[in-house]
Amino acid sequence: MKKLLIILLVLAMVPVALLVVITPMDSQKQYIFGLISIGLLFLMGFSKKRSISVIMVVMSLLMSTRYMYFRLTQTLHFNSEIETILGMGLFLAEVYVWVLLLLNYLQTIWPLKREIVPLPDDMSLWPTVDVYIPTYNESLDVVRDTVLAAQCIDYPSDKMKIYLLDDGKRREFAVFAADVGVGYITRNDNSHAKAGNLNHAMKLTQGELITVFDCDHVATRIFLQATVGGFLKDPKLALVQTPHYFYSPDPFERNLSVGRNIPNEGTLFYGPIQQGNDNWNATFFCGSCAVIRRSALEEIGGFAVETVTEDAHTALKMQRLGWKSAFLDIPLAAGLATERLVLHVIQRTRWARGMTQIFRLDNPLFGRGLTIQQRLCYLSAMLYYQFALPRIAFLTAPLAYLLFNLNIIHSSASLVFAYALPHLFLAIYINSRMNGRYRYSFWGEIYDLVLAFHLVLPTVVTMFFPKRGKFNVTDKGALLDVGYFDFRVVRPHLVIAILLGIGVIAGIVRAFAHDYYGVDPRVIALNVGWGLYSLIFLLAAIAVARETRQTRKTIRIDVTIPVLIHYASGISSRSQTADLSMGGCRIELPDDRHLTDEIEEIELLLQSGAISIPVKVVTTDERYIRLMFDDIPLSRRRELVRVVLARADAWIQPPKPQDNPFRSLATIVRCVFDLFWMTWKTRRANRRTQAKVQVQEDGTRITLM
C-alpha cells in the first residue's frame, strides 16, 4: 500500500514537473526557484523515510531535466565550427551524465535487503557442490590459503568436492593438490581464458551447484550454508552472488593519506547497486564468491566466452532464459585488492572493454527474455564504462574560454549558474543521503579521473571492433619494497593539470583587467571556478600515483585467542593474542622471561584443539611481543586458516560513518595538500642526507657536522 501511495504521489508531480521545466524564467526568478527547491530539500531531509527519499529523487530529476531543457533550448548557439564541435561535445557529455543519473536512481532507490535462507535439518536433502578455484600464473603462496579455506567450509564432505583448475599446468600445483587432497584439473590449451577453464572443468565434474572462487579469495566456513538454501527454496534460482570483500588495501586506500577513512571503491557496487539489481532480478555474476546452478549453466552452453567479462555476460544469458538471481549482502569471502595503480588500471580496462563488448554483441536492450528493469540495470553498467570521454570533456571544457576565448555555452553566467546549481546540489545531496555509507561525495570523480585517459582508446576501439582484445590476468600478491611516483600512469593527467593551472592564472589576470580585455567578469569567474574545481580533483587523482611501500605480505586481524608460549628452557607461559595473521602474531607480554630465554614456539588454544607453531621474535616493547611464524606443515596451516581467515565473522565490519559532502570535499583537498607536502618533505630529507655526507674522489665518505 505504501509503495502504491508513493507511485500515485510521483505521478501527480509529473504535470507540475513538466510545467516547471518548460516555463521560461529570468535569472532572478531561477535563483528564487532554486533556493525554494533547496530549502524544501533540507526540510524533507530531516525525515529518513524511504518514501521521502523517493520524493527527493523526483525533485532531483526535475531539477536535472529542467537544466537539460535549458541547455537544449537556449545555449546551443555558436559562432564558429570549433565552438560548435566543442560545445556539442560538452552537451553530449551532459546528456550522458543525465541518463546515468536516471539509471542510477532506478538501481538504488529501493534496494532489496535479502536474508539467508536456512538449509533443511535433513542433510540428505542438501545439494552436491563443486568448488572451482581457477588459476593461471598466480604464485602458490596466493593460491594455497584459498584451497585450505575451501576445505574448512562447513558442508558434508560427501557433498562437496574442491577442484584446483590450473591453466598454468605447473607441477608444484599438482603436488600441492595431491598433498591436501583436492582435485586437480588442467587442459591442453588456454582457449577462452578463465571461462574456458571453468567450462572444461564442468565436463569433468557432476555437482548440482558450482561455486567459483578466484584463486586469491578465501571463503568463510559458513559460505555454502549461507548461500545454498535459496536453491532448494526456488527451483528457478540460478545464481547467488556475495560481495567481493578485499582484506588488503587498494591503491586509493594505500596511497592517499585519508584512503583508509573512506569506503572502498567497490563498496557502492557491492552494496546499494547490487541490492537494487536484486530487487529487479538483475543481479550480476561477478566472477567469484558466487554459487551457480549447473542446469542453468548447461542450458546456456556454459560460462560465456564471447567477451572478456564472462561473469556479467553469463548472468545476462541465464536471465534471458527466465532464470532468477540473488545478491546476499554479507561478506562471506575476502581477497587481495590490486596492489599498484598500474595494475588497477589494467584490471578496470578489461572490465570496460568487456562491458563494451556486451553492449555490441549481446545488447540487453534488444532480444527476448528480459524485463524493462533488467534491461535498464544492464544498460547502466555498460554505459558507466563509457565515462572516459565525458569525464575528459568536463575536465577540459573551461580551457576553451580561459586559454582560447571560445564560448561553448551561449548564455549569461548568472543564468547558467541559476539552472546548474539546483541540478548539481540536489544530485550530490540525494546520492549522499541514499548511498553515503558506501560512496562519499565527490570521490567517484577521483576514481573515474584516474582511469579516464586510459579507457578512451580501449572503449572506442572495442565499440567499433568488439572482438578485438584478450583476457588479461590481474597480478596479485606482490610486495613493494620502495615507494615511488608512477609518472607513466598519470602523465596525461599532469599535462592537463599544467594547462588548467595556466588557464586559471590567465583567467584571474583577465578578470582584474576585464575592461582592457573587454570580457564579462562573471563569465571569467564561472570558468575560473570550474577550472579550479577540475584542478583539485585532477591533482587528487595524480596523488594516487604516489606508490607507498607494501612490505606486509599477510593481513593482520584483531582477534583474541589464548596462547601458550614455549621457551627454549622448557618453561611455558600463558598469554593471549592481540592480532593474528598467516605470517605471524602479536601477543601480550606476560613477563620479562623473553629477555633471557628464547621463544621457540607458541600454542594457539582453540575450541577445536591446540595448534603448535614454531616462531621467531621480531620485536618487543613494553606491552607486546611480535612473532613471525616459521614454515608451517599443511595440516597446521589449514587450522590456522580456519582461525584467521575462515571465521564466520572474519570480514564483517561496522559501516562507515554517514557521508557529509563538505567534509568529503575537505578530505580531497587534504589529499592534494599532502601530495605537495610529502613531495617537499621527501626532497628536504634527501637534501639533508646529501648535506651530511660528502663523498671524496677516492670514495671515502666524510660526515659533515
- Residue 672 sits at φ, ψ, to 5 deg, of -65, -45
- Give the sign of the dihedral formed by CA 355, CA 456, CA 458, CA 341: negative
Helix (H, G, I), strand (E, B) or coil at 320: helix
591 belongs to the catalytic site = no
B/e letters for 661-682, b = 16+ CB within 10 Å, e = fewer, are beebbebbeebbebbeebeeee
For residue 628, give the nearest of 581, 579, 584, 594 by alpha carbon: 584
CA dist., res. 3 & res. 679, Å (int): 54
Say which residues have a Cβ less than 8 Å from residue 98's Cβ, sequence separation at least 6. Answer: 64, 65, 68
- Give the sign of the dihedral formed by CA 543, CA 549, CA 553, CA 558: negative
- Residue 112 sits at φ, ψ, to 5 deg, of -95, 120
Which position among 130, 250, 278, 311 bears the catalytic label?
A: 311
C-alpha cell at 698: 677516492
362 belongs to the catalytic site = no
Around 100, how many Cα atoms within 13 Å sit in the side-chain half-sphere?
Answer: 17
DSSP of 639-702, one letter per residue? Answer: HHHHHHT--TTTT--PPPPPP-HHHHHHHHHHHHHHHHHHHHHHHHHHHHHHHHEEE-TTS-EE
Give the C-alpha distances (Å, rounded to integers) separating 147 from 213, 498, 641, 684. Answer: 9, 49, 10, 47
Residue found by looking up cell 581464458 in the block: 193
Residue found by looking up cell 577442484 in the block: 163
Give the C-alpha distances (Å, rounded to integers) separating 127 from 162, 231, 242, 315, 389. Answer: 15, 9, 19, 21, 48
Do the bridges between strand 484-485 and strand 290-293 make them parallel or antiparallel, or are there none, so unpaired?
unpaired
Fill in the amino acid letter for 586.
R
Sheet with 129-135, side-by-side order of all strands? 183-185, 160-166, 129-135, 209-212, 290-293, 237-241, 324-327
Fill in the amino acid letter for 555.
I
Fill in the amino acid letter for 296.
A
Radius of gyration of the chain (CA): 29
Which position among 145, 166, 167, 329 bears the catalytic label?
A: 167
∠ CA 192-286-668 to the nearest 5 degrees? Answer: 120
- The answer to whether residues 166 and 248 touch, using CB atoms and an 8 Å cutoff, is no
Catalytic residues: 167, 311
